[in-house]
Amino acid sequence: MVTPFSGDGAVDLDLAARLADHLVAQGSDGLVLCGTTGESPTLSWAEEHELFVAVKGAVGGRARLIAGSGSNCTAEAIEATREAAALGADGALVVVPYYNKPPQEGLEAHFRAIASAAPELPLMLYNIPGRTGTSLAPETTARLLDCPNVVSFKAASGTTEEVSALRALCGERLAIYSGDDALTLPMLAVGAVGVVSVASHVAGPQISAMIRAFLAGELATALARHEQLLPLCKALFATTNPIPVKAALEMTGWPVGAPRLPLLPASDTVKQRLSETLAALRPT
């Protein structure tokens, strides 16, 4: 979920609560707060905690709430994950440490420390090498499965091969989610169970319908939905996420504000492409 900002740049907690309610009504089974799309790098931990409390008050009990608690500092990630558990999160999204580029042994030790610090909280490991500079190897992930609360994986490496490798090593013990809207259907086909979606902000019913069709064995219908959604998925990543999705929300009546610096508002070119793809998106 994006983090809405008011005109003065503060987190808009009231709008966040309303947006969360809307997303759940549009078909989202859960919400990830303070992840990449939520601009976690420019949120303070205090802002993240306030946001979580506001959203939990709005949709708690109707959707799973996953708190982004990752950091490139292990001690900081441990503290944030413990706080997420204390606030009543249903799980935590823990990203691969960024910038410091640890080797696989360091990644394993990092995630083990977090898992053992909050053993009651289910963890979703988040692999996005395009942003972190390091990729969590499937073999390392498989070793981490002896931590009982390592239960899911957000695959955002941009390839279905990662899903296949994880399935081969981990089987059904690990629930794999696509981290790329455009690859949701291909990843479902090789063993993923869903998507941590950006496009669901403006196309929740269509994405839900595609996944339901695939799970029901209605493959032609699922493919048609995928083809319908693909132009929007591409437009939403025409520049750095969440610049386009915030613009798309503005166009559809959700004044979530511009991203915080160093991200900038969408250009006129990006807005025009979004306008065209939103207009072409048929209702479910």
What is the three-class DSSP state of 4? coil
Residue type, 49: H
- Cα(186)–Cα(133) distance, rounded to whole angstroms? 24
Q: For residue 84, give the nearest of 15, 150, 34 by alpha carbon.
A: 34
Q: Could you tell me the CA-to-CA distances from 258 to 3, 104, 239 in Å, in that order?
A: 10, 36, 14
8 Å CB contact between 71 and 94: no
Q: What does the DSSP 8-state code read for residue 267?
A: P
Q: For residue 183, give the nearest of 157, 209, 213 by alpha carbon.
A: 157
Reading phi first (left if > 0) and then psi (alpha if -120 to 50, else beta), residue 9 is in left
- Cα(90)–Cα(149) distance, rounded to whole angstroms? 11
Q: DSSP secondary structure string, 208-236?
A: HHHHHHHHTT-HHHHHHHHHHHHHHHHHT
Active site residues: 126, 154
Residue 126's contacts (CB-CB under 8 Å, 6 or more residues apart) are 35, 70, 93, 94, 95, 96, 153, 154, 156, 179
Q: Could you tell me the CA-to-CA distances from 82 to 19, 114, 194 in Å, in that order?
A: 26, 9, 26
Q: What angle do CA 132, 133, 135 make, to 5 degrees?
A: 85
